[in-house]
Structure 1
Amino acid sequence: MIVKATTYGWKIIYHRAHALLAAQLAGQWRHQDVPVRLYETLAAISHHDDLEKEWEEDILTEAGAPKDFTLNSDTDADAGVEKLAELAKNALYRGRWVALLISMHISRLNEPNRGKSSKLDKVLDEQLQNQQRWRKELGIKKEEVDAAYVFMQWCDRLSLILCQQELPDDERFLEISKGPNGQRYDIMQHRDNLVTVKPWPFQEEQFTVNVEACDLFQVKFESNTELAQALQKAPINVLEWTFVKS
């Protein structure tokens, strides 16, 4: 989950909600430049964090605060190997294209940890084998798959920037990442809170996206159960961003 400290406690955005925001952004992309198999790609984007089940997991730091996803340790990574394998397998329910993109996402995030765990290495090897097989079975070029994944990664990154509230002050630009065409994109928030991206990659000249967040009015929790219960009872507010071409 994505955790932001507030003056009253914490603001929490679930990872699945962040993925849905990424899919909203993907759906706004300029129609003539969308990757192949767009709707399946949107499904992969919206479901790429389906392994996260915050109410059922260890979501507390040693200090008793909600644990932001960036604080995961090597122990968390080891415990998550089976979850990764399950995510890759379950993605097949939506088809090989969705499974292929999610498998590539698993590889990108976890290949830097190769060699730290034999179980993880086995899962990573399986991903590479599956990716090669699915590309062949689908009859699609690697370049097209790579472009679709870069598109997915770009939308994921932009969603994280918004959810983590990383937009700079004073109308300064922040790099998002390179898009599927190799072009670098930057984001900036105006003083009136309208947001723009340069160069403009979207179909419409103005649109609004949103994500739901939970507000916790308690700083410290004694157990995962207490925090999970607080999250399920917490008031929810909708965070919105309006994008404009400028």
Structure 2
Amino acid sequence: MIVNKSVVGIHIISHEAHGLLAGKIANEIKPEFRPRHWFETLIAICEHDDRQLNFKEKDYLSDMGVPMDFNEERSSVHEVMTRMQRVLKAAGDKSSWVKLLISYHLEFIYAHMKADSKRISRFFTEEEKARGHILEQFKVSDKTGRTYYEVLRFCDRLSLILCKDQAPEAERLLEINTSINGETYFIKKTENGVLTITPWIFSATEFELSVEERILKETKFTSNQHFETVLMGSKPQPKKWLLKKSEG
């Protein structure tokens, strides 16, 4: 989960909501930048971070009883393996194309663990073979498949920047990443709070995005169950942004 703090309280955005926001971003991209099998690609983007929050499997509180942002969590090899297998199973049940893109994404996130875990290293070796069969099925090279994955990576990163309120003030540029068509993308917040992306790869000259967050006035919890009860009992609220093409 994504955790932000303010004077109001703790703001919680689920990874599922973040994924949906990534899908909304993708839906605004010009057709010329969209890979083949676009509908399945949208599904992969929307669901790329699903099945993360599970209070029965994991403690989401720090030693001080404060909800932890996903960047603060430390996952074991077993937890990572369980999640990867679960996500790939769900993706494969929908579509081989969805599974292909999710597989690339899991590699992007967890490949650094291969050096320290033979189990994860073996997993990705097998996954590379599985991707090969899918690529052959769709008559697509690995290079092309990875090019298509860049759309997911762009939308994922931009969604996280928005969810984490990372767009800098004073109209300073923040790099999103180098992804679609090999371009490096930047985000900037104008004086009136409007966001602009350069280069602009969207169909409309301006559009609105939103994600649901839950704001908790309590900042510390006695147990995971206590946190879950308060979180699930809170009302989702929309967090919105206006994105507009730069006039310059």
Shared fold per TM-score greater than 0.5: yes
Paired residues, what number? 245
Deviates more, 1:122-131 or 1:14-23: 122-131
Instruction: Give secondary structure in 1 for the equivalent of 2:192.
Output: coil
Is 1:107 paired with 2:125? no
Map 1:148-167; keep pairs closer than 5 Å.
148-167=148-167
Aligned to 1:41: 41
| 2:33–2:180 CA contact under 8 A, matched in 1 | no
AA in 2 matched with 1:225: Q
Select between 125-134 and 115-124 the one with higher mean Cα deviation: 115-124
TM-score normalised by length of structure 2 = 0.94
Question: TM-score with structure 1 length normalisation?
Answer: 0.95
The Cα shift of 1:53 comes to 2.4
- Compare 112-121 and 179-188 and name the one that shifted more: 112-121
Deviates more, 1:179-188 or 1:158-167: 179-188
Provide the C-alpha distance between the structure 2 equivalents of 1:90 and 1:186, rounded to a whole number of angstroms: 33
Map 1:1-246 onto structure 2 (within 5 A).
1-56=1-56, 57-75=58-76, 77-246=77-246
Which stretch shifts more, 16-25 or 184-193? 184-193
Tell me how far 1:36 sits from its aligned partner.
1.7
Change (3 A) 1:92 1:214: same
CA distance in 2, matches of 1:84, 1:30: 31
Which segments of 5 or more consecutive residues in structure 1 lack a partner in the other structure? none
RMSD over aligned Cα atoms: 1.4
**Does the aligned pair in 1 maintain the 2:135–2:142 contact within 8 Å?**
yes
Cα distance in 1 for residues equivalent to 2:25 and 2:50: 18
Give the whole-Å Cα distance in 2 for the aligned partners of 1:79 and 1:245: 41
Q: Deviations over 1:183-230 (max 9, x none)?
A: 111111111111111111100001111000000011110111000111
Q: CA deviation at 1:123?
A: 2.1
Deviation at 1:140, TM superposition (A): 1.5
Q: Deviations over 1:135-170 (max 9, x none)?
A: 012212223211111110000000000000001010
Contact 1:78 1:117 in 2 (8 A): no
Q: Distance in 1 between matches of 2:182 and 2:117?
A: 34
User: How far apart, in 1, do the equivalents of 2:133 and 2:59 lie?
Assistant: 35
Whole-angstrom CA distance in 1 between matches of 2:119 and 2:179: 33
| 8 A Cα contact 1:36 1:144, kept in partner | no
- Identity over aligned residues, as a percent? 31
How far did 1:28 drift?
0.4
Q: What displacement does 1:179 show? A: 2.8
Is the 1:185–1:198 Cα contact (8 Å) retained in structure 2? yes
SS at match of 1:80: helix
- Structure 2 residue ranges without an equivalent (≥5): none
- Deviation, 1:83, is 1.8
Q: How far is the alpha carbon of 1:78 from its aligned partner? A: 3.5
Letter of the structure 1 residue corresponding to residue 141 of structure 2: K
SS in 2 for 1:115: helix
Q: Alpha-carbon deviation of 1:121?
A: 2.4
